[in-house]
């Protein structure tokens, strides 16, 4: 077995916001009081049973939790493994993003903020934010890289339909990284009235910790459901795709103390952990794709949601202590993974999750007979138009 003996539980960062050497709060002075206020507000809310009940009710009655597990009998048999999916794609708005957004939007209201700001890559976090804002009566502005506005036009329309304003980020690489920059600039100017609803386990403390806590519902449910399905056993391997890393942290959080191998699959063109070095951007110290002078490099991935040169600091920590591993797959493998799950199981995955499928298919010969739990964090509807362009008439 590849699994390591793991006594550790997840870290709760102290005032310095660190996971090991990673994390922290590297923000302009203007934002420091806001981060401190948020840290206090979150801790207060998280320990308030009324807040937790309100959130749980929303997750159940609005988002549709708990999400189910689905065993992939066909693909499992084909690969020689037992493959089980955690179906975050079945949540309202089509991905795991809603888990954190409902929590953050409730928190924003509790803090008396009337407006939320969000960045989005593939548009899933933007749609989830726009949705929560509509539900809770908040104003919502979403920043999205101009390149992503183009390739995810369906989600742009959905956000607008939900009443959000979408602003294309035209600076830099015009993808997720630049959307984060624009959102942070907005926040610097609007910090007194606005809440920055970050889409992943990234950014300055307390965001990586807070978003992980909100997403930990995935891991908590999945552990219990998996044990019920598999006679009390834990999976040999848990797999999730990693951009910023929130769906992965969500499911990992349930298994950090198990003898389960944790695998975060990065895109080859955005492999922050796999190919990056420690750096500081977007308020955090973490692995980062950068040049010798510390200029952040542009990520290149077929999936807008993973097109990010950094990664959440807790992943950097888990990688540095050897608790989780972060292989990468290339765009071609992802396309094959996308088709594979659709054809064998009748489930069209988000391109982000197709990274996890691709890794599982590649790794299968080495893990014959093992149980694999994959977080299917989003559905592929949003990617169909893009795939139609890429695959065209190759589909017969």
Annotated active-site positions, please?
A: 72, 96
Find the binder of other proteins among 24, 245, 274, 380 (CB under 8 A).
24
Among 111, 134, 136, 188, binds other proteins (CB under 8 A): 188
85 bridge partner residues? 70, 374
Pairing of strands 261-267, 165-169: unpaired
Instruction: Please check whether residue 142 is in contact with residue 115, taking contact to mean a CB–CB distance below 8 angstroms.
Output: no
CA-to-CA distance for 91 and 393, rounded, in angstroms?
Answer: 31
**Segment contacting other proteins (CB under 8 A): 153-161, 186-194, 335-343, 382-390?**
186-194
The span from the CA of 394 to the CA of 389, in Å, is 10
Identity of the residue, 296 or 387, whose beta carbon is nearer to other proteins in the bound complex: 296
Q: What is the rounded distance in angstroms from the CA atom of residue 80 to the CA atom of residue 370?
A: 8
The reply to whether 190 sits near other proteins by the rule CB under 8 A is yes
In this chain, which of 80, 163, 294, 365 binds other proteins, going by CB under 8 A?
Answer: 294
Q: Which residues pair with 161 in a beta bridge?
A: none
Tell me: does residue 292 bind other proteins (CB under 8 A).
yes
Q: How many residues bind other proteins (CB under 8 A)?
A: 39
| Distance of closest approach, residue 16 Cβ to other proteins, in angstroms | 7
Does 171 engage in binding with other proteins (CB under 8 A)?
A: yes
- Using DSSP's 3-state secondary structure scheme, residue 81 falls into coil
Neighbours of 188 (CB within 10 A): 15
The residue from 9, 61, 192, 231 that contacts other proteins (CB under 8 A) is 192
- CB nearer other proteins, residue 254 or residue 279: 279
20, burial (CB in 10 Å: exposed 0-12, middle 13-18, buried 19+)? middle
Based on the shown chain and the rule CB under 8 A, indicate whether residue 40 belongs to the binding site for other proteins: no
Q: Does residue 172 belong to the site contacting other proteins (CB under 8 A)?
A: yes
- Taking CA atoms, 359 is separated from 81, 117, 252, in Å, by 13, 34, 17
Q: Is 253 left (phi over 0), alpha (psi -120 to 50) or beta?
A: alpha
Please, which residue, 307 or 383, has the CB nearer to other proteins? Answer: 307
Give the sign of the dihedral formed by CA 339, CA 247, CA 307, CA 21: negative
26 binds other proteins (CB under 8 A): yes
Residue spans of beta strands (DSSP E) within 82-236: 82-87, 115-120, 139-145, 165-169, 194-196
Closest by CA position to 129, among listed 176, 40, 198: 198
CB of 169 to other proteins, least distance (A): 11
CB 292 → other proteins: shortest distance, Å?
A: 7
Task: Choose one: 26-34, 141-149, 208-216, 356-364; the region binding other proteins (CB under 8 A).
Answer: 26-34
- Out of 92, 110, 115, 185, which residue is the one contacting other proteins (CB under 8 A)? 185
Enumerate residues 6+ apart whose C-beta is below 8 A from 111: 37, 38, 41, 195
Kindly tell me which residue out of 10, 34, 122, 306 binds other proteins, with binding defined by CB under 8 A: 34
Is residue 100 at the binding interface for other proteins, with CB under 8 A as the rule?
A: no
CB of 389 to other proteins, least distance (A): 29
41 scored as a contact of other proteins (CB under 8 A): no
- The whole-angstrom separation of Cα 212 and Cα 191 is 23
29 touches other proteins by CB under 8 A: yes
Stretch that binds other proteins, among 66-74, 78-86, 255-263, 280-288 (CB under 8 A): 280-288
Task: Please select the residue that binds other proteins; options are 120, 129, 131, 181, rule is CB under 8 A.
Answer: 181
**Alpha-carbon span 263 to 358, nearest angstrom:** 12
Cα separation, 179 vs 309, whole angstroms: 13
Residue 168 C-beta: closest distance to other proteins, Å: 14
Q: Kindly list the residues in this chain that would bind other proteins in the complex (CB under 8 A).
A: 16, 24-34, 171-172, 177-178, 181, 184-185, 188-192, 278-283, 285, 288, 290, 292-297
């Amino acid at each position: 077995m590849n699994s390591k003996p793991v006594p550790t539980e997840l870290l709760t960062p102290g005032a310095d916001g660190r996971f090991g050497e990673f994390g922290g709060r590297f923000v302009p002075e203007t934002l420091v009081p806001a981060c401190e206020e948020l840290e206090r507000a979150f801790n207060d809310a998280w320990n308030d049973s009324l807040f937790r009940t309100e959130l749980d009710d929303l997750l159940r009655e609005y988002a549709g939790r708990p999400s189910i597990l689905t065993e992939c009998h066909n693909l499992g048999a084909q690969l020689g493994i037992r493959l089980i999916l955690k179906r975050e794609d079945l949540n309202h708005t089509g991905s795991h993003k809603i888990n954190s957004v409902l929590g953050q939007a409730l928190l924003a209201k509790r803090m008396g903020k009337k407006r939320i700001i969000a960045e989005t890559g593939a548009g899933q976090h933007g749609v989830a934010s726009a949705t929560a804002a509509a539900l809770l009566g908040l104003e919502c502005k979403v920043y999205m890289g101009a390149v992503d506005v183009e390739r995810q036009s369906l989600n742009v329309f959905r956000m607008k339909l939900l009443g959000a304003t979408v602003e294309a980020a035209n600076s830099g690489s015009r993808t997720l990284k630049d959307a984060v920059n624009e959102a942070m600039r907005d926040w610097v100017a609007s910090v007194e009235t606005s809440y920055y609803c970050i889409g992943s386990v990234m950014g300055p403390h307390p965001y990586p910790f807070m978003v992980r806590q909100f997403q930990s519902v995935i891991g908590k449910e999945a552990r219990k459901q998996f044990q019920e399905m598999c006679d009390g056993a834990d999976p040999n391997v848990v797999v999730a795709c990693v951009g910023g890393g929130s769906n992965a942290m969500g499911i990992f959080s349930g298994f950090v103390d198990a003898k389960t191998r944790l695998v975060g699959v990065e895109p080859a063109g955005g492999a922050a952990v796999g190919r990056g070095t420690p750096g500081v951007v977007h308020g955090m110290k973490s692995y980062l794709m950068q040049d010798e002078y510390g200029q952040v490099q542009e990520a290149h991935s077929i999936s807008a949601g993973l097109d990010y040169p950094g990664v959440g600091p807790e992943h950097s920590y888990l990688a540095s202590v050897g608790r989780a591993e972060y292989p990468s797959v290339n765009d071609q493998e992802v396309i094959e993974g996308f088709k594979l799950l659709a054809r064998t199981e009748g489930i069209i995955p988000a391109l982000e999750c197709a990274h996890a499928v691709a890794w599982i298919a590649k790794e299968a010969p080495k893990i014959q007979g093992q149980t694999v739990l994959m977080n299917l964090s989003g559905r592929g509807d949003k990617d169909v138009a893009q795939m139609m362009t890429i695959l065209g008439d190759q589909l017969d």
